[in-house]
Amino acid sequence: MPGPGKRSSKSRRTRTGKRASSSSRKSRTSKKSRRKSEARWFHHPLFRFVVVAGLFAAAVALLIGLMVLFHYDRLAARYDLSAVGRSPLETEVFDATGARIGYLHGEDVGMPVPLESVSPHFLNALIAREDSRFYRHHGIDRYGLVRAWIRNAKEKRAVQGASTITMQLTRMTYGLTGKTIQRKLLEMAIARRIEKHYSKNDILSQYVNRVFLGTGMNGIEQAAQGYFGKSSADLTMPEAAMIAGVIRAPNGFSPFRHYETALREMRGTLGRMEDEGMITKKELARYRDMRPVVLDQDRWMRMLREQSKVSGDSYLLKMIEEKVGELLPSYVGIGGMKIQTTIDMRLQSAVEIAVEERLRALESQPGYSHPTVAGYQSGNPQYLQAAVTILENHSGAMRAMLGGRAYHDSAFNRATQSRRPMGSIFKPLVYGTAFERRLFPGMLISDGRIAPGEISWDDEGWDPQNSDGVFGDYLPAEQGLIRSRNTMTARVGEWSGIETVLTMMEHAGLGVVEGEVSPTVYIGTTGANVGNVASAYSVFATGGVRYKPHSILSVQDRDGVTIYQHEDESYQVMSSGAAWLTSSILKRVLEDGGTGASLREMGFTAPAGGKTGTTNDFYDAWFAGYTSRLSGSIWVGLDQPQPIYDGAYGGKIAMPIWFDIMMAAEQIGYDFAALAEPEEVIEMQLCRSTGLLANDRCGAAGTVYVEQVPHDLIPREFCEGH
């Protein structure tokens, strides 16, 4: 029997078992409860929505990614991969007569050497510095991309790039510029294609022979000769590391001008080589204290001048280079091409001489207050500038172009990159638009002040003044253009409506108005460049047809295969009748009483039409004119808009340049025949008020007059206004 106060083992086992059973049941209950809770949460609508939304977002992201990849792969397929394997050569540029204008890309020629002839020190330094995973990736270093993105995100600025050597070669070959995500994606797509078609050593060979290394040096051989006076095969480790360190900022890290900075980059490159196991710590300690001897920069510049075929830089060659880049983007920087242009260097020379002689004469006048070209030393030039474009009317071929007085002072091309207010040279487009809508030159238009509310859509109450400060009575519409009357031009513009005038402006190649439109558009406050103005004026010589301007006739690759051939493009800007009516008035602008009458006084006798233009306070002086063969536009002004001088009218300072150019064109052999006439012009009695056929009531009102009417503009209705 168990003693008092003690329980039998059986009793203890029973109770313990009961406790264990109870605990087990609680545990099972708890697990069941959790499973039920989890099941309820899994079936909760919010959870299911989040899961479905996440899967949908992932699917959409994947689809977008695939679409982007497909899009840029298609773009990359347009680029000729054979260009990668071609060493750069100078491109020859010829004018329309076959005379050589000069060379492009001559600075890229360098001295190509086989990869096995390059010091292994440089190849290791290059890979360590620019692309340590070069032999392990397929054009894109994904690890490098992630590393660069993380680093740049931490720094909140672009401190590290992720371009592989293949991607850099892509930029060199195809001239890809800009820092946009679109350009980067295209670069990556092309780099992948390059890696599939070329071996790593081929890619590396092309890179080391093309890479820009500062001060006109392209390729390792030029850099070795220029900086150290030795072959690339003989570079020491510190010299090789210094050149490799230059790549990311060739001018900023130049050993010629910034030796201590170049030394810092050399040491950084050596450190990367040690990280990659290319040199030992002991070698790093020894090399980083060395100071390679860099030769004199003047010595290299003399060598470069002796070796290079690069022509003197000019606005013309730069424009040709840019145009070829637009037409053949995959050939940018390759060289070895032959470019046939439309330029006539005889006329081009005449343009350059005319501009310089006329502007120097202006600068030498007593009281001229602006800096002169003779006194220029450095910085942005503040002397008087000019821009010129001469086009062939019936083809759009550019025969001459000048973007400024001195390219080496300023590379800004004022003929193609600048848009200056046109002033009165825009007015012929306003009149031509109105003539399309049955306004006729003999119809009466008020020269009085614009009354408040007269231009219903003008909320500002525009009150234009005439240049002589006088308001007149009713005058024939043609007088508004011949005498350049602002108030009459505004009313002529309203005859057609502002939207119609803007459409004509764009159709004629003068672009669109930027910002809010106001009635001041009618008198030429909108900007344009001289090339577009010359093209717009050519329609008055061609019966209203505009031939799109062009400067490249053909391009041949280094194998003599024609890879581009120009084909003329033309379209009707305005009816032949409206163009002829406008041209008839523009011819009278150059006669007695017109704003361009001094052209005849200077001795230009060939049939021609034209218009002067001067903006408020004499900021811009223009002349645009045409003959049967050529159209030309001249702008004169200062880069930072300000008055040229009091009385600097277009007829005084721009038109004489046009005169010199056209006189030279005649001497060269350009024939200026009579300007074209419509096939049929009918003499008709019209009403001066409405432009419709006159009736007896018009005769009684004294509004009948005789007009020369082109066949396509003949009115079909009689006037009912009297």
State the total domains in the chain.
5
Q: At residue 273, does pLDDT exceed 70?
A: yes
Average pLDDT over residues 17-34: 50
Instruction: Sort strands 444-446 and 420-421 into parallel, antiparallel or unpaired.
Output: unpaired
Does residue 546 sit in the same domain as residue 646?
yes
Give the Cα separation of 429 and 524 in Å (integer): 10
The pair of three-digit structure tokens given for residue 305, joined into one six-digit string: 């001048």
Which of 260, 283, 307 is where one domain is finished? 307
Does residue 667 sit in the same domain as residue 696?
no
Q: Which of 41-55, 577-591, 660-674, 687-701 shows the lowest per-residue confidence on average (mean pLDDT)?
A: 41-55
Q: At residue 160, does pLDDT exceed 70?
A: no
Average pLDDT over residues 311-323: 85
The pLDDT, as a whole number, for residue 5 is 42
Q: What share of the chain is helix, strand, coil (3-state, %, to 5)?
A: 45, 15, 40
Place 31 in a pLDDT band, splitting at 50, 70 and 90: low
The verdict on residue 29 lying in a domain is no
Q: At residue 10, does pLDDT exceed 50?
A: no
Place 3 in a pLDDT band, splitting at 50, 70 and 90: very low
The pLDDT, as a whole number, for residue 707 is 96
Average pLDDT over residues 120-137: 95
Beta pairing partners, 319:
none
Place 657 in a pLDDT band, splitting at 50, 70 and 90: very high
Which of 463, 494, 525 is where one domain is finished? 525
Does residue 475 sit in the same domain as residue 489?
yes
Which of 157 and 185 is assigned the larger pLDDT? Answer: 185
The pLDDT, as a whole number, for residue 108 is 47
Does residue 482 sit in the same domain as residue 502?
yes
Place 317 in a pLDDT band, splitting at 50, 70 and 90: very high
Q: Which of 40-44, 61-65, 452-456 shows the lowest per-residue confidence on average (mean pLDDT)?
A: 40-44
The verdict on residue 182 lying in a domain is yes
Q: Could you tell me the end-to-end alpha-carbon distance of the chain, in angstroms, rounded to an integer? A: 146
The pLDDT, as a whole number, for residue 241 is 97
DSSP 606-643: S--EEEEEE-GGG-EEEEEEE-SSEEEEEEEE-SS---
Does residue 155 sit in the same domain as residue 277?
yes
Angle between helices 120-130 and 259-275 (to 10 degrees): 90
Place 12 in a pLDDT band, splitting at 50, 70 and 90: very low
The CATH number that applies at residue 114 is 1.10.3810.10
Q: Per-residue pLDDT tens for 294-304? A: 999 999 888 87
Give the Cα separation of 193 and 189 in Å (integer): 7
Does residue 497 sit in the same domain as residue 639?
no
The pLDDT, as a whole number, for residue 30 is 53
Q: Are 170 and 176 in contact (CB under 8 A)?
A: yes
The verdict on residue 242 lying in a domain is yes
Which of 406 and 311 is assigned the larger pLDDT? Answer: 406
Average pLDDT over residues 459-465: 92
Average pLDDT over residues 364-391: 94
Does residue 173 sit in the same domain as residue 297?
yes
Q: Which of 176-185, 382-391, 591-600 shows the lowest per-residue confidence on average (mean pLDDT)?
A: 176-185
The CATH number that applies at residue 636 is 3.40.710.10
Average pLDDT over residues 565-586: 97
Q: What percent of the chain has pLDDT over 90?
A: 70
Average pLDDT over residues 490-510: 96
598: phi then psi, degrees, rounded to nearest 5: -70, -15
Place 34 in a pLDDT band, splitting at 50, 70 and 90: low
The verdict on residue 697 lying in a domain is yes
The verdict on residue 9 lying in a domain is no
The verdict on residue 599 lying in a domain is yes
Angle between helices 427-436 and 576-589 (to 10 degrees): 140
Q: Per-residue pLDDT tens for 550-564? A: 999 999 988 899 999
The pLDDT, as a whole number, for residue 32 is 54
Does residue 148 sit in the same domain as residue 283?
yes
495: phi then psi, degrees, rounded to nearest 5: -55, -40
Give the Cα separation of 715 and 687 in Å (integer): 11
Average pLDDT over residues 484-507: 96
Average pLDDT over residues 665-688: 94
Q: What is the H or E stretch that residue 339 is in? A: strand 338-341
The pLDDT, as a whole number, for residue 152 is 57
Does residue 130 sit in the same domain as residue 47?
no
Q: Among candidates 304, 346, 326, which has minimal Cα distance to 564?
A: 326
Average pLDDT over residues 451-475: 92
The pLDDT, as a whole number, for residue 80 is 81
Domain residues for 403?
342-364+381-421+527-678
Question: What burial class does residue 500 get, using C-beta atoms within 10 Å of its C-beta: 0-12 exposed, 13-18 middle, 19+ buried?
Answer: middle
Q: Per-residue pLDDT tens for 521-544? A: 999 999 999 999 999 999 999 999
Which of 50, 76, 102 is where one domain is finished? 76
The pair of three-digit structure tokens given for residue 688, joined into one six-digit string: 């001066």
Q: What is the dihedral of CA 277, 280, 283, 287, to 10 degrees?
A: 30
The pLDDT, as a whole number, for residue 178 is 74
Give the Cα separation of 131 and 123 in Å (integer): 11
Q: Per-residue pLDDT tens for 216-270? A: 788 999 999 999 999 999 999 999 999 999 999 998 899 999 999 999 999 999 9
Does residue 476 sit in the same domain as residue 531?
no
Which residue's entry shows tokens 């009218």? Answer: 649
Q: Are 166 and 206 in contact (CB under 8 A)?
A: no
Q: Per-residue pLDDT tens for 638-652? A: 999 999 999 999 999
Instruction: Sort strands 338-341 and 91-94 into parallel, antiparallel or unpaired.
Output: parallel
Beta pairing partners, 610:
625
The verdict on residue 151 lying in a domain is yes
Does residue 444 sit in the same domain as residue 586?
no
Q: Per-residue pLDDT tens for 384-426? A: 999 999 999 999 999 999 999 999 999 999 999 999 999 999 9
279: phi then psi, degrees, rounded to nearest 5: -135, 160
Average pLDDT over residues 115-121: 95
The pLDDT, as a whole number, for residue 618 is 95
The verdict on residue 243 lying in a domain is yes
SS3 312: coil
Does residue 659 sit in the same domain as residue 585?
yes
